Amino acid sequence: MKTNKSPRRDFLKTMGWSTIGLSTLPLATSSISSCQTKPTEKAQTKNSNSLAVRKNIADFAPDDPEIKLFKDALNILKKRSEVSPLDPSGWQAHGMLHATFCATSIYANQVHYNWYVWPWHRLYLWSMEQKLQKAVNEPTLALHYWDWTKAPNIPDHYWGNESNPLFNVTRMVGPENELPKDFINVGAGFRAEHYKTFGGYPAIKKRGEAQLDGLAEQSFHNNIHNWIGGQMATFTESGFDPIFYAHHGNCDRIWDAWRAYSPKNTLPEDEEWLEKRLFATDGNGTPVDFKIKDLLNTEDLGYRFNDLDLNPTYCNPYEEADKPERNASAQDCVAPLNLETSQTDAIYKEFINKERTHVILHFERAQLPYQPYCARVFFEYDKEGERQSKYTGTFTILPILDLDSVLLQNGVHLQIEIEKEIAEAIEQEKNIEVIFQPVPLPNRNIPDEILKLENISLKLNYEDA
């Protein structure tokens, strides 16, 4: 490891990581739920002086010693896989670990489309961080996150050529491409008081049950994966693009920020969730498992975030001028809201003391291409002789498979936030049309095949359906 000694020495010298220096960094704390438990032996709480501190990579110069050490560690993992693709501590095996639990229709393993998505991905990032630390023998080496609310372009660190271990040639965007504002709106998720709304409902147990992934997964998480394209837009290979760890690092941070946003934002207390065992590998590539209750405090896992501050522009409520406009196109899907199957009275009563609330938009897909489908969702109706078009969010709909099957689930559920004016139109039994307006992505065409939907309805909670 001779080649790594100098970057590591420069890194520590530059950061001034002495006992006093590190302890004076701002501690990002979150409101810990009453279901918090003590760590297991596998995740002993570290002294604050030895915690890895995760920071926004866009705040560093590409040639910063901290970045150089990070790249050195990543190169070591990649070289291990060149020698032996099956090396469990190598880059190849780690990427396949993501596919094992995300690109699967075996629902005993699947962590997407349900409330396991954020705990498992926290464990997956911990697994990568442990491997990087051991590769250069630096226990405080931290993964970086990409705060796309402050830097909507992929940071310069991830560009160049194959000599840069952070580069990935499959991306469909370039350094000049900027994320659309509505792709990175986190406000609707922050105002979701129930974890089921933010993070997803329990995993389905039999074929035909509804899969309800959370608002955070359906919106900014999926949108950014799909926007980047290439390997990042697939479950099978996204773990092989280094930008994955920066994107999910920010998603992990947003989960903590959601908990800190309001004392009403609480985690599940269900034993089914807290006692669920999730699997990954440690820094040596050895299989390990953690219960979710042992993954809820990042310091128990050896790291913390330098801050939980996001660009308030993306924390809603949007200014009207910032909302996407409705621009009709031949690819738009337009279908009526079925008031008979919607919970109209319950939704209207929910707005007695509120200006906005979360609901579940359900539809049956009569036709949907086997690919991610990104769309802006609008509600349209007449009001005082004028056509109103109300934007409710931008979502990437995935071709979700049914339980232990290769067939698509027919029913789709989106967790969205609507404004009071929409509830009033529902209560007045107006003819409301729901529009899915497909979003053009860089260097890709909108699918010619129009999304065909049937029986669109709104409900407050799935259990009330």
Mean pLDDT, the chain, whole residue set: 85
pLDDT of residue 18: 27
pLDDT of residue 349: 92
Give domain limits for the chain: 2-314, 324-464
pLDDT of residue 100: 85
By the 8 A CB rule, do 109 and 100 touch? yes
Structure tokens at 62: 């590409």
> What CATH class is the domain 2-314?
mainly alpha
Closest CA to 131 of 95, 82, 161, 168: 95
Residue-wise pLDDT for 399-442, tens only, equals 766 666 666 667 788 999 999 999 999 999 999 999 999 998 99
Omega within 30 of 0 (cis) for the link into 317: yes
Strands 52-54 and 303-305: parallel
For the segment 377-404, the average pLDDT, to the nearest whole number, is 87
Angle, in degrees to the nearest 10, between helices 117-136 and 65-83: 90
By the 8 A CB rule, do 131 and 88 touch? no
pLDDT exceeds cutoff 70 at 366: no
By the 8 A CB rule, do 148 and 184 touch? yes
Closest CA to 136 of 45, 287, 302, 6: 6
Of all residues in the chain, what percent carry a pLDDT higher than 90?
A: 67
Structure tokens at 333: 């899907």
> Could you tell me which residue, 434 or 11, shows the higher pLDDT?
434
pLDDT of residue 1: 38
Pick from 65-74, 201-210, 252-261, 456-465: least confident:
456-465
β-partners of residue 388 are 381
By the 8 A CB rule, do 46 and 299 touch? yes
Q: Which residue has the tokens 């006992």?
A: 19
pLDDT of residue 47: 64
For the segment 144-156, the average pLDDT, to the nearest whole number, is 97
Pick from 71-85, 100-114, 227-241, 340-354: least confident:
100-114
Rounded CA gap, 122 and 318, in Å?
Answer: 29
Q: Report yes or no on whether pTM surpasses 0.75.
A: yes
By the 8 A CB rule, do 264 and 34 touch? no
Give the model's confidence band at 235: pLDDT under 50 very low, under 70 low, under 90 confident, else very high: confident
For the segment 138-149, the average pLDDT, to the nearest whole number, is 97
pLDDT of residue 64: 97
Give the model's confidence band at 17: pLDDT under 50 very low, under 70 low, under 90 confident, else very high: very low
Rounded CA gap, 323 and 321, in Å?
Answer: 6
pLDDT exceeds cutoff 50 at 30: no
For the segment 273-295, the average pLDDT, to the nearest whole number, is 97
